[in-house]
Structure 1
Amino acid sequence: MTRHQKRLSVPNSWPVERKEQTFTVKADAGPHGEAGVPLLILLRDVLGYVDSKKEARYALGQDSVLVNGTAVGDEERPIGMFDILAFTEREEYYRVFPDEGGRLSLTPIDADAAGSRLGKVVGKRQVAGGDTQLTLHDGATLLVDDETITRNDSVVVSNDDKSIVAHFPYEEGALVTAVAGEHAGEIGTVTEIQVTAGSSANNVLVDADGDRLETVEEYVVVIDENFTDGSAGGDDE
């Protein structure tokens, strides 16, 4: 199987220029599915910290690059929405956040905010033993005893012990960001959730600084106001 990816066919979320070269690196299997951006692209093309795959491998071999609190040694490891990148030697920290048009961008954050990450709940089910398991947007799973958390809510997960330190319900009045569709990257407050009969997606009406936006439920993620800047990623509940 080829280890190359044509730039013209990469997902829209990838922060790469499609016409500069024919090929770019292909992401390994892992979190975020096909939308995951190889770490090498962020290190080389976005941040400019390395010039080649060889340099990236050397840098990652120092265990000073963390993704969600864990040292990463694979330059093709997929990075996606709301992941936390920490460069310990540089004392630099970034949150992966959807920009206008749905492209992933790196938002500088402080060290405290780098200790946790946001996750959208995309699944909830009972597992053996009666525990409740949540599935997040990046494929991660969590066992919880809080029955109030439900699908389309967002949670803030500690990178240290994977515990939930904050919970943001999906409801009218919630602050959300669109992560796909024509309104990707825009932030506003949910004014109405229109439940659609049958298998069609629910619609969401959002007030973004006086502008009325309409999108589908799948495209919005509940956030805290702190996620729009570089401050902490949610208060403990």
Structure 2
Amino acid sequence: MHLKRLAVPRSWTVSKKTDYWATTPKTSHPRERAIPINVVLRDVLGIVDSTREVKKIIRDRGLLVDGNEINDHKHGVGLMDVISIPEAELHLRTTIDSKNRLKFIKIDEQEANTKLCKIDNKKILKNSETQLNLHDGTNITIEADDYKTKDTIKISIPTKEIQKHIPFGKGKKALIIGGKHAGEIAEIKTHEISDGSKPNHILLEGEEEFRTIEEYVIVVGDEEPEVTLQ
């Protein structure tokens, strides 16, 4: 399926009038929060001038996402994903700006080996193991079940070994990924459970005190973020 430029998600930092068509991402992330690596390198960062150059980097096995070689210029990246071009000594983490758009910040080689993932759901498997369903559409299977939805795990990439568990709760640092406070890092004060079908809200304190819906909050650290996000 082709994607018209005028219909690209608001999370893309690209001009909608320079071309008629845009690359459609192939991704496990929610479609509205994913952008194809081709568009990232060519249109957002300006590292290359054409899709042909992106394909050449891929053929030379010089492009990694979360530590894995990718083989498709349509590969979609989303929140917290790490893009690496080792030959250029370039490592980027995908985060979000104040306008709800995906942005890419430089990180060092050591930090490029880790990633934060929010636990969106859990499943008990037939062998009594637990499967953690993560915000990026991937899964991790574990034996000890000390994890809850809304918690965050810090994992190594590409091995996906859990390095740290950051429980959701009062006093934790959180990244806001939607609404008018998108891109801010704030401290969780209270978790407000709503009745019926209304979304739960969270009271946070950053430069000012504010509320946002639970869906827009990802815990990123105890006292400080575990990774560079701004």
> TM-score normalized by structure 1?
0.90
**Partners in 1 of 2:228 and 2:171 — Cα distance?**
17
In the alignment, what sits opposite 2:147?
Answer: 149
Deviations 1:49-108 (A, max 9, x none): 221111111111111111001011211001100001111001111100111111111111
- Per the alignment, residue 183 of structure 1 pairs with 181
Higher deviation after alignment, 188-197 or 156-165: 156-165
Q: What is the CA distance between 1:20 and its match in structure 2?
A: 3.0
Tell me the SS of whatever aligns to 1:188: strand
Which of 14, 17, 20 matches 1:16? 14
Amino acid at match of 2:29: H
CA drift of 1:11 comes to: 1.3
Aligned with residue 168 of structure 1, among 162, 166, 169:
166
Taking the aligned partners of 2:57 and 2:99, their CA distance within structure 1 comes to 31
Alpha-carbon distance in structure 1 between the residues aligned to 2:142 and 2:193 = 27
Check if 1:140 corresponds to 2:138. Answer: yes
Segment of structure 1 superposing worse, 191-200 or 70-79: 191-200
Q: What residue number does 1:227 align with?
A: 227
1:83-162 paired onto structure 2 within 5 Å = 83-162=81-160
Q: Distance in 1 between matches of 2:164 and 2:144?
A: 12
For residue 193 of structure 2, what is the amino acid of its counterpart? Answer: V
Give the root-mean-square deviation of aligned CA atoms. 1.5
Contact kept? 1:82, 1:118, Cα under 8 Å: yes
Distance in 1 (alpha carbons) for counterparts of 2:195 and 2:63: 46
> Quick check: 47-56 or 212-221, which moved more?
47-56
Cα distance in structure 1, aligned partners of 2:196 and 2:57: 51
Give the residue type in structure 1 aligned to 2:28.
P
State the one-letter code of the partner of 1:36: A
Tell me how far 1:160 sits from its aligned partner.
Answer: 3.6
Structure 2 counterpart of 1:233: none
Q: CA deviation at 1:173?
A: 0.7
Match of 2:30 in 1: 33
8 Å contact kept, 2:93–2:229: no
The CA deviation string for residues 111-157 of structure 1, in whole angstroms up to 9 with x for no partner, is 11111211110001211110011000111011123322110111111
Report the residue type matching 2:227 in the other structure: F
- Over 3 Å counting, the alpha-carbon distance change for 1:74 and 1:118 in structure 2 is same
| Structure 2 segments unaligned to the other structure (5+ residues) | none
Aligned to 2:178, the other structure's residue is in SS state coil
Using the TM superposition, give the Cα deviation of residue 229 of structure 1 relative to its aligned residue in structure 2, in angstroms: 5.3
Q: Is the 8 A contact 1:38 1:77 kept in 2?
A: yes
Q: Is 1:81 the counterpart of 2:96 in the alignment? A: no
Q: TM-score, normalised by structure 2?
A: 0.93
CA distance in 1, matches of 2:114, 2:226: 12
The ranges of structure 1 where at least 4 consecutive aligned residues each deviate by more than 6 angstroms after the TM superposition are none
What CA distance in whole angstroms lies between the structure 1 residues aligned with 2:145 and 2:54?
43
The answer to whether the 8 A contact 1:109-1:229 is kept is no
One-letter amino acid matched to 1:174: K
Q: How far apart, CA to CA, are the structure 1 residues paired with 2:109 and 2:77?
A: 19
Pick aligned residue for 1:61 from 59, 62, 80: 59
Query: C-alpha displacement at 1:8, in angstroms?
Result: 2.1
Structure 1: distance between partners of 2:228 and 2:70: 26
| Count of residue correspondences | 226
Q: Which residue of 2 aligns with 1:217?
A: 214
Q: Percent identity?
A: 31
Change (3 A) 1:160 1:80: closer
Q: Any unmatched runs of 5+ in structure 1?
A: 231-237
